[in-house]
A and B are shown apart, each in its own frame.
Chain A
């Protein structure tokens, strides 16, 4: 899997705003799609792993969807909080190897 693209590159929102990011990837040789949340000076934290077309997962205010046929995943954050500020990485895999996008940097202002 090559050419994983994430958009936007960065995002500044106000506390309480809802937001979403996109991850695009080649749909061939797809196995799973991972989303990670990465705060500065900390380890990337696994948010979701999705494998099936149409998968939707939710964790608190954060949710994600997966379309393997067209090769994209959306990550949604409802009611953003300052503590949501981080870099959000997506990584499709064709097995146990992850191929990372460059990430979306989210900054939430209080």
Chain B
């Protein structure tokens, strides 16, 4: 149990376009989902906390207008990278929680902006 999927696994887009990444909890309802970003050879950095039915809470330094997060249901959160630039190229990964102790991760999305 506790499976989280992400789609797409890889995406290449042109500079200036927007890209949407989906995160789904497949076999449980998640009131809270998290979005992380990993820079090369660095740790996972929390970008934002997403709660169903309310606005996401962004970490310091993360532009909320650049990274739009929608958590429309208890099983789906989306991250949209708007007007993507090459510096947005990164590995994005989501997690979903059952309770305060357990976070279950998706497999991640590799974004390349050309």
Contacts and interface: CB of A to CB of B under 8 A. Distances in A.
A96 B97 contact: yes
B65 interface: no
Contacts of B105: 36, 43-44
Interface stretch (B13-21, B41-49, B70-78): B41-49
Which secondary structure dominates chain B's binding surface? strand
Nearest to B9: A41
Contact of A96 (B41, B43, B100): B100
Interface stretch (A12-20, A59-67, A68-76, A99-107): A99-107
A99 to B, nearest CB: 7
Nearest to B110: A41
A32 B101 contact: yes
Contact of B102 (A41, A43, A46, A101): A46
A32 B99 CA distance: 13
A47 to B, nearest CB: 12
B107 A103 contact: no
B107 A42 contact: yes
Contacts of A44: 93, 105
Contacts of A41: 107
Nearest to A99: B46
A37 to B, nearest CB: 11
Interface of A: 4, 32, 34, 36, 41-44, 46, 49, 51, 89, 95-103
Interface of B: 4, 32, 34, 36, 41-46, 49, 93, 97, 100-108
24 contacts: A32-B100, A34-B103, A36-B105, A43-B104, A43-B105, A43-B106, A43-B107, A44-B105, A46-B102, A46-B104, A49-B101, A51-B101, A89-B43, A97-B34, A97-B49, A98-B34, A98-B46, A99-B46, A100-B36, A100-B43, A100-B44, A102-B41, A102-B42, A103-B43
Given A43-B107, A89-B43, 7 more contacts: A4-B43, A36-B105, A43-B104, A49-B101, A89-B44, A96-B100, A103-B43
